[in-house]
Amino acid sequence: MTAVTGAALLGMTGCSPGDITEDSSETTGAKPSDEVLAGVDPCGLLSDEELKSFGLETRGEPRSELPWAPGCYYAGEPVTARLEKNTRQTVASSEKRSVWASFDRTQVNGRAAASAVPNGATEARACVLMFDAGQGLIQVQTQEIRLPDDVDECAKALEIAEKVEPNVPEPA
């Protein structure tokens, strides 16, 4: 089950490096984003108490499939979660990508945000909630790992994102 979860979360990260770097107009140099988001550690965005309140383990596992999108994976029940900072995308640029089965604009504590389901993840019961931070974005990816299918993954991602948001820089 863990391998399936990891593969699904990897798929939500950006599907493949080619998908993210294809649109060079949106990735015209990550240096400013790197500076603004440099101090953001995806494994340090939530306290142990907050992690426990979401049913997540307090020890996150750093995972960086893409150099510009380091993340931290948390096993948990009823969902697993991955917190990720992305220095090459924003909510607006992410909306233009063709990797989403659905992409719905929303807000997280007043910030531009979106709730998205990656292509192929509708059956995997997974959701990505992203919001602008610095000159990039923060993603909260959740996936329900067990039946029955009674958890709203996007609602759970929004709950987590609302706790993460105060701990990251304002959009630049």
Mean pLDDT split into 10-residue runs, the chain, 172 residues: 39 35 37 70 96 94 89 94 95 94 95 92 81 95 81 93 96 86
End-to-end CA distance of the chain: 39
Return d(Cα 26, Cα 91) in angstroms, integer.
Answer: 11
Q: Are 160 and 137 in contact (CB under 8 A)?
A: no
Q: What pLDDT sits at residue 129?
A: 97
- Predicted pLDDT of residue 84: 96
Q: Residue 13 has what pLDDT?
A: 42
The span from the CA of 136 to the CA of 169, in Å, is 10
Return the CATH fold of 2-167. Answer: Protein Transport Mog1p; Chain A (3.40.1000)
Given a contact cutoff of 8 angstroms between Cβ atoms, the answer to whether 164 and 83 are in contact is: yes
pTM, whole model, 2 decimals? Answer: 0.79
